[in-house]
A and B are shown apart, each in its own frame.
Chain A
Amino acid sequence: MKFPYGPAPLAILIIAVLTGIALAVWGPLSHAPDYRPPDLVLATFVPEQAEVYHNAIPEFEKQNNCKIEIELVDQNALQSRLQSALQVGADVPDMVELMYGTMGVFTKGPLEDVGLVDLTDKIKASGLYDRLVTNRLSKWSSRGHVFALPHDVHPVLLCYRRDLMEQLGIDINKLTTWEEFSRVGREVVKKTMRPDGVPEHYMIDMQSDGNDTLILLLLQHGVGLFDAAGNVTFDSPAALDVVCWYVKQVEGPTRISFPCGEGQNFAKAMIDGLCLFYFCPDWRANRIELEIPSLSGKLALMPMPAWEPGGLRTSTWGGAGLAFTKQCRNFDLAWKLAMYLYYDRAQLGPRYAVTHILPPLKSAWDLPQLSESSPFYSNQSLGKVYSAMAPFVPEEHDFAYNTIANGKLSEAFTNASYYYKVHGEDGLREYARAELKRCADHVRLVMARNVFLKPQPAQVSEASGK
């Protein structure tokens, strides 16, 4: 019989039918005969963590007679797919590690719409509030409800080129306030100025458009993008102080910083000693050690200078949290797995040895692995220096409008920075105040449009157990 539409459509039809059959048959055949579907799926975006979990999982599987699957997914893909899947009820992993700054995306709507399990009662009942650095819970909370377990603390220290410090005769013990740090920085820039008008060394690596380094300084000064009730706070007097100080470090004749960026540029800048100091949370300390081995023995860590004598000498930058989706098939097993991976002392020692990330479980800070000295960091014990600062890390609140607030803060900062470049210090404070107010009002306007999310201040204090 002749196919009525000709040989080409017939060929396409045959290929389509064969492909369909192959796919239908291949699915079941692709699994080994003893294939067992996983009891739980945990998705993470951090390759190092996925590796650590892979090594730890067999023991857990043996103890609990279960099968756990660890999926490594790109952070952007994880966030966007999870966000959409949760809202339409599509398939999602049982447990998900979320990146800092993304919690607000999942908790933007009414609480009943949040696709993650509310862990508040469970955390209270298990006594975790007392055992963890409680300030870290605020990062994973919304309107008084905790939706993820903190993986880390990420205190920030300053990493510095010890060898260059000795060459330049800088006494780090005197760098206790930002004012003094700035003064010494100006001397360094002046002293190392080349004939072409470009300094050999800058004092510190700071982003020229604010962003992460500006925010960590704001947090150190006790102010974030939002307060616990979800109010925009980056136009407060404390924020204004930080912005005005920061502007003078990145622009004009008082400039002491250079934006070293990330990756290869950052490595090159460190190797060249372009900047003497770098903001360094624990995750970055590990990355520097892995990626720039040539600096072994030349680096050391010190607490951040404070805003006023005797003030807070640390901040926080980054973080991950473990959330349980409402579609989690076995919550009890998932909780057990979370406790095993996150807060089991036996697991945390080896994990720290690989990642150098300080766990938020206070009782783990005396583990032997945390006391080991690091030849890379001039024989300092990273565990000791970071855990000394960990109890003091400032609270940070994540809201749905984090990204937009971040962008608007950066806009106000950039405009203030340009003003300083053109007009100098005259009128800077007034201009910066007006810009911060304008940008904060924009965020307030956008937030006010949200018909789904109305802040409920009465519930807020529950988040951190206060």
Chain B
Amino acid sequence: MSESSIAKRAPIGWRLRSRSTPYVFLFPYVAINLVFFLLPLIYATVLAFYQTNGPARRAYVGWSNFTFVLKDADFHKALWNTTIFAIFSIGLQLPLSLGLAMLLNAKNDRFKGIFRLAIFAPNLVGQVFVGVIFSVLFTPRYGLFNRGLQALTGWGLEQQWLGDSKLVMPAIIIAAMWMYVGFNMIYFLAALQNVDQNLIEAAKIDGAGPGNIFLNVIVPAIAPVATFVVVTSTIGSYQLFELPYNMLKNNGGGYGPSNSGLTIVGYLYQNAFTNGDLGTGAAVGWLLTFIILIISLVQIRIVGSVGSEI
């Protein structure tokens, strides 16, 4: 019996209810997105062309917010800091994550579960706590990091990691690495566990060494996951805020000496909420969206083409 014949025979109320069912289920999602995503998005677009004094008072300023931000040395600094962070996040974190995933993927490891949990656990803590913890670890004279350096090398007891503009970004990168390596490792581990073992066996029979197997079998197999991890890590890096803000709370009011820990979102926060100019904040938000969009598209293209070539 065909579906259409059932529909023809069913009462009209039932047919109406059947047709409306998907929309009823969709309604909460659509309503929430409309109220909390689409409307704010439209409002933020409008707001970017106004100067505001809090939410109540505003004045139309045209493109002035955008031109101010694009010319502002602090924005340039924030963009530079964020880009450096993103480059190191991808350049250091991802190979380390992949390496750890490969180690954990090794067979006959009784402690695999414990290691996996231990490496992933920092991600459960949250950026605010990691920021606070690392601000203590990097304390000159008393911090664990400095004590360790002194014990190992005889140097570093007085080193001001968070008080020296040249060392702020390395300190943030170290903290972020501790936090996110385990998170990305989980993705790589899942991808590695899905690599077809027959292909690896076949490559071995053909005389391929571990390097060849890694490059020609494993990398192509995990390329889609690697693309995803690279893109999400980049987006996450460009949205960095809580970690440096909490690490540097006592150094440069959350942005480090000479704004050495100022990120784009930190700059947005500074303008929108510290200075109370939501219009400039909205303009920064749109610029950030544009930057992330361009970088993500380029990355997807590059990583995608590399994956397909391999």
Contacts and interface: CB of A to CB of B under 8 A. Distances in A.
A133 to B, nearest CB: 28
B275 A259 contact: no
Given A84-B55, A87-B57, A403 B24 contact: no
A169 to B, nearest CB: 25
Residue of B59, B74, B141, B150 ringed by the most chain A CB atoms within 10 A: B141
Interface stretch (A105-113, A119-127, A160-168, A319-327): A105-113
Contacts of B224: none
Contacts of B54: 83-84, 86-88, 108-109
B140 A404 contact: no
Contacts of A86: 54
Contact of B275 (A88, A414, A446): A446
B56 A209 contact: no
Contact of A108 (B17, B53, B139, B158): B53
Interface residues of A, number: 47
Nearest to B21: A5
A445 to B, nearest CB: 8
Interface string A186-208: 00000000001010000000001
B228 interface: no
Contacts of A258: 140-141, 158
Contact of A418 (B17, B24, B55, B165): B165
Interface residues of B, number: 43
Contacts of A401: 275
A450 B160 contact: no
Contact of B258 (A9, A83, A88, A414): A414
Contact of A404 (B165, B250, B258, B275): B275
B184 interface: no
Interface in B50-71: 51, 53-57, 59, 61, 64, 68
A265 B57 contact: no
B269 to A, nearest CB: 11
Nearest to A6: B21
B56 A403 contact: no
Nearest to A261: B250
Contacts of A418: 165-166, 258
Contacts of A446: 275
Residue of A108, A406, A407 ringed by the most chain B CB atoms within 10 A: A407
Contacts of B166: 418
A209 B161 CA distance: 12
A86 B73 CA distance: 32
Interface string A398-422: 0011011011001100110010000
A418 to B, nearest CB: 7
B307 interface: no
Interface in A342-398: none
Interface in B10-62: 17, 21, 24-25, 51, 53-57, 59, 61
Contacts of A261: 139, 250
A211 interface: yes
Contacts of A109: 53-54, 57
B253 interface: yes
Interface in B230-265: 250-253, 255, 257-259
Contact of B68 (A88, A264, A449): A449
A4 interface: yes
B5 to A, nearest CB: 21
B276 interface: yes
A262 interface: yes
Contacts of B140: 258-259
A245 interface: no
A450 B17 CA distance: 56
A442 B55 contact: no
B142 interface: yes
B143 to A, nearest CB: 8
B305 interface: no
B274 interface: yes
A86 B275 CA distance: 16
Contacts of A442: 73-74
Contacts of B17: 4
A84 B257 CA distance: 29
A252 B24 CA distance: 70
Residue of B64, B150, B276 ringed by the most chain A CB atoms within 10 A: B276
Contacts of B277: 450
Contacts of A411: 257-259
A208 B25 CA distance: 58
A110 B25 CA distance: 48
B270 interface: yes
Interface string A434-455: 0000000010001001111100
A80 interface: yes
B157 interface: yes
A105 B276 contact: yes
A196 B153 CA distance: 12
B150 to A, nearest CB: 8
B55 A406 contact: no
A268 interface: yes
A414 B253 contact: no
Contacts of B21: 4-5
Contact of A87 (B25, B53, B250, B257): B53
A236 B203 CA distance: 74
A113 B136 CA distance: 42
A113 B53 contact: yes
B142 A211 contact: no
A196 B154 contact: yes
A274 interface: yes
Given A414-B165, A451-B51, A113 B275 contact: no
Contacts of B24: 5
B115 interface: no
Given A5-B21, A442-B74, 18 more contacts: A108-B53, A113-B53, A209-B163, A258-B141, A261-B139, A261-B250, A269-B141, A269-B142, A400-B275, A410-B258, A411-B257, A411-B259, A414-B252, A418-B165, A418-B258, A451-B59, A452-B59, A453-B53
Cβ-closest 3 pairs across A and B: A87-B54, A109-B53, A414-B257
Interface of A: 4-5, 9, 80, 83-84, 86-89, 105, 108-110, 113, 196, 198, 208-209, 211, 258-259, 261-262, 264-265, 268-269, 274, 400-401, 403-404, 406-407, 410-411, 414-415, 418, 442, 446, 449-453
14 contacts: A5-B24, A87-B54, A87-B57, A209-B163, A209-B257, A258-B158, A259-B163, A262-B250, A265-B142, A400-B275, A404-B274, A407-B259, A415-B258, A451-B51
